[in-house]
Amino acid sequence: MWYYLFKYVFLGPILRVLGRPRVEGLENIPDNGPAILASNHLAVMDSFFLPLMVRRRIYFLAKSEYFTGTGLKGGFQKWFFTAVGQIPIDRSGAEAAAGALTAARRQLEKGELMGMYPEGTRSPDGRLYKGKTGLARIALDAGVPVIPVAMINTHKLNPPGSILPRPAKIVVKVGKPLDFSRYDGLQGNRFIERAITDEIMYSLMELSGQQYVDVYAASLKNKPAQPDSSPDGGGDGRGSTPAAA
């Protein structure tokens, strides 16, 4: 109930005014059945605008810190993320990765949509970074298609470190589903998982027009961000392409 109240009554109308969002390729998301929406990650608002523009309910894996805060702020945060159906996961260590796999697979087995960010964290500078293979592992294990989704300009509405949103023109581009059934039976093969991840990142690069950087975004979080050279802050899409590793 709270998911749809936030979407259509409380937050949705405000987001539509601030972001004037539009969606392209919505027909690529099936009306029913499980699938993973693999999105680039520019801002916290990605997790608000994507559900706003997609008719079906989307579940996200959320870091457990959102559910363990204390005081008034921590209590509200826990209530909010629980109310909108976010799934808490511990992101530290191998056991945590297994827990994320189990949580995502459980929702996919119910025929739900899972929203995931293969970069693992927000981009520090608007470019597209190397994807982590966890999403590929889940897609193979659950046997579901992966639908690439490009969020555009959300980092302008919600710049890193900002509190109040700034008006911007948000675009959500949905690509054609990627079918990896040709790899059935090869779950756990790290070379296959890397190949799948790179194919997903290449699709995101083409959809978003971002410049691709073949390093993990998390490795740059403590370094000064490099300014974007393109007018839209997303690069020209002609940077290095995802390479298998």
Euclidean distance between CA atoms 193 and 145, whole angstroms: 14
162 forms bridges with which residues in the sheet?
A: none
In a domain, 58, yes or no: yes
- Mean pLDDT (whole number) for 50-60: 95
Q: Which residues contact 51 (CB under 8 A, 6 or more apart)?
A: 3, 7, 57, 58, 115
Question: Given this model, what pLDDT does residue 89 score?
Answer: 76
Looking at every residue in the chain, the average pLDDT score rounds to 87
For position 109, what pLDDT does the model report?
Answer: 95
What percent of the chain is predicted at pLDDT more than 70? 87
The answer, yes or no, to whether residue 229 has pLDDT greater than 60, is no
Domain contains 130: yes
CATH of the domain at 113: 3.40.1130.10
Extract the tokens encoding 99: 């827990």
Compare 95 and 11 and report the one with higher pLDDT: 11
In Å, how far are 8, 54, 242 from 39, measured between CA atoms?
A: 22, 13, 15
Give the model's pLDDT for residue 238: 44
E strand or H helix that includes residue 129? strand 128-129
* Residue 156 domain flag: yes
3-state secondary structure of 228: coil
Is the pLDDT confidence value at 243 over 60? no
Model confidence at 99, pLDDT cuts 50, 70, 90, reads confident
Looking at the structure of the chain, the number of domains it has is 1
User: Does the pLDDT of residue 7 top 80, yes or no?
Assistant: yes
Mean pLDDT of 75-79: 87
pLDDT surpassing 80 at residue 63: no
Specify the length of the chain in residues. Answer: 245
**17, part of any domain:** no
Give start and end residues of each alpha helix (H) in the chain. Answer: 2-5, 12-19, 46-53, 71-83, 93-109, 134-142, 154-157, 190-208
pLDDT at 70: 87
**118-150, pLDDT tens digit by residue?**
998 999 999 999 999 999 999 999 999 999 999
Answer yes or no: is pLDDT of 222 > 70.
Answer: no
Domain around 132: 2-10+33-220
Question: For residue 100, which amino acid is it?
Answer: A
Token pair of 165 as six digits: 């949103």
- Whether residue 18 lies inside any domain: the answer is no
Asked if residue 177 belongs to a domain, the reply is yes
Higher-scoring residue by pLDDT: 54, 70 = 54
